[in-house]
Chain A
Amino acid sequence: MLEVKALSVRYGRHLALENAALQVKSGEIVVVLGANGAGKSTLIKAVSGLVPHAPGGRISLEDQALHALPSHKIVDAGLALVPEGRHLFSTLTVAENLSLGAFLPRTRAAAAESLEIVFSIFPKLKQRLTQIAGTMSGGEQQMVAIGRALMTRPKILLLDEPSLGLSPLLTSELFRALPGIAQRGIGVLIVEQNTHQSLAISQRGYLIEKGCIVGEDSAQELLKSPAVQKAYLGG
Chain B
Amino acid sequence: MNTTTLRPYLAILAAAGLLAFTPLLVDSFWLTLAIGTLNYMILATAWGQFSGPTRYVSLASVVFFGIGAYTVAVLGEVLPWPLVLLVALLTGMGMALLVGLATLRLAGIYFVIFTFGLSEMVRQMVTWYEVNITQSMGRYVFLDISQETIFWQLLGLLTLVLLGAVALHRSRLGFALRVIGGNEPMARHFGLEPTRAKLGLFVASSAVMALAGAIMAPRWTYIDPAIAFNATLSFQVVIMAMLGGMSRLWGPLLGALLMSILFEILGSHFPQAFALLLGLVFIVIVYLLPNGLSGRLSQLLARPAPDLSLKEPHHER
Contacts and interface: CB of A to CB of B under 8 A. Distances in A.
B190 A152 contact: yes
A50 B189 contact: yes
Nearest to A81: B189
A92 B187 CA distance: 13
Interface stretch (A9-17, A35-43, A69-77): A69-77
Contacts of A50: 185, 189
A15 B179 CA distance: 34
Interface string B164-201: 00000000000110110011011111111000000000
Given A89-B183, A96-B175, A71 B192 contact: no
Nearest to B185: A50
A109 interface: no
Given A50-B185, A87-B183, A92 B178 contact: yes
B185 A72 contact: no
Query: Which of B178, B179, B183, B186 has the most A CB atoms < 10 Å from its CB?
Result: B186
Contacts of A81: 189
A103 B192 CA distance: 7
Contacts, number: 44
A72 B190 contact: yes
Interface of B: 175-176, 178-179, 182-183, 185-192
Q: How large is the interface on A (under 10, 10 to 19, 20 to 34, 35 or more residues)?
A: 20 to 34
A87 B182 CA distance: 9
Contacts of A100: 179, 187, 190, 192
Nearest to B189: A71
Contacts of B183: 87, 89
A104 B191 contact: yes
B279 to A, nearest CB: 30
Interface string A12-53: 000000000000000000000000000000000000101000
18 contacts: A50-B189, A72-B188, A72-B190, A75-B190, A75-B191, A76-B191, A81-B189, A87-B186, A89-B182, A92-B178, A92-B179, A96-B175, A100-B192, A101-B190, A103-B191, A103-B192, A104-B191, A152-B190
Contacts of B189: 48, 50, 71-72, 75, 81
B190 A92 contact: no
A26 B178 CA distance: 35
A48 B189 CA distance: 9
A104 to B, nearest CB: 4
B305 to A, nearest CB: 19
A83 B191 contact: no
A50 B185 CA distance: 8
Contacts of A148: 190
Closest 6 CB pairs of A and B: A104-B191, A72-B191, A89-B182, A87-B186, A71-B189, A103-B190
Contacts of B191: 72, 75-76, 103-104
A91 interface: yes
Interface string A127-144: 000000000000000000
A90 to B, nearest CB: 7
Interface in A60-104: 71-72, 75-76, 81, 83, 87, 89-92, 96, 99-101, 103-104
A91 B188 CA distance: 18
Contacts of A103: 176, 190-192
Contacts of A99: 175
Contact of B182 (A71, A76, A83, A91): A91
Contacts of B190: 72, 75, 100-101, 103-104, 148, 152
